[in-house]
Amino acid sequence: MASYKEIVTKAVVGKAKKNSVSKFSVQPEETPDTILGCWVINHSFEGKNSNGVVGINGAFDVNVWYSYNGDTKTAVTTKRFNYNDKMNIRLKDGARLNDASEIIVRSLNQPTVTDVKINNGIVDLSIEKELGVEVVGNTMIKVSVEEDPDDYELIEDIDDNEVDNEVESIDENYLN
């Protein structure tokens, strides 16, 4: 007769993703005439439980390459931006977000500049990013356990000497 055992294990108990577009401003030392390029680097982030909501603290650097002085000179300015995103995550099977929960954050789409404009010497940027979050927590699974030893077939032990003798008796020239 079968009985059941409960096994406690770690499993993904909730998932979510969030796409966001944020506005940022950079003020270069010189007044820019034309934006020649703009890119985001050094993206870092981490997720934490914040009263039952996943809080994501992150940062990235934005480099803006621009021309100035009547488009006769160029320069690059860099600025670091911090962000805080909050994500509500629907957890499965009555799981709860607590300090023991492991929060895994992934960048599904790296931050990218989608729009850039010069406004009175200030560079206004729109940056889009997509983050995915998985919450890993304890969960239980039930397994059926067979306790009757007669339910298992016995497997004979194989003697290594017998195997060696069989291998040695193989005719290597059989196919010739």
**What would the pLDDT profile of 110-133 be if each residue is shown by its tens digit?**
999 999 999 999 999 999 999 999
If one counts every other C-beta atom within 10 angstroms of the C-beta of residue 16, the result is 15
Provide the pLDDT for residue 92: 85
Q: Is a pLDDT exceeding 90 seen at residue 60? A: yes
Sheet harboring 2-26: ordered strands across?
2-26, 122-146, 102-119
The span from the CA of 129 to the CA of 113, in Å, is: 9
pLDDT above 70 as % of the chain: 93
pTM > 0.85: yes or no: no
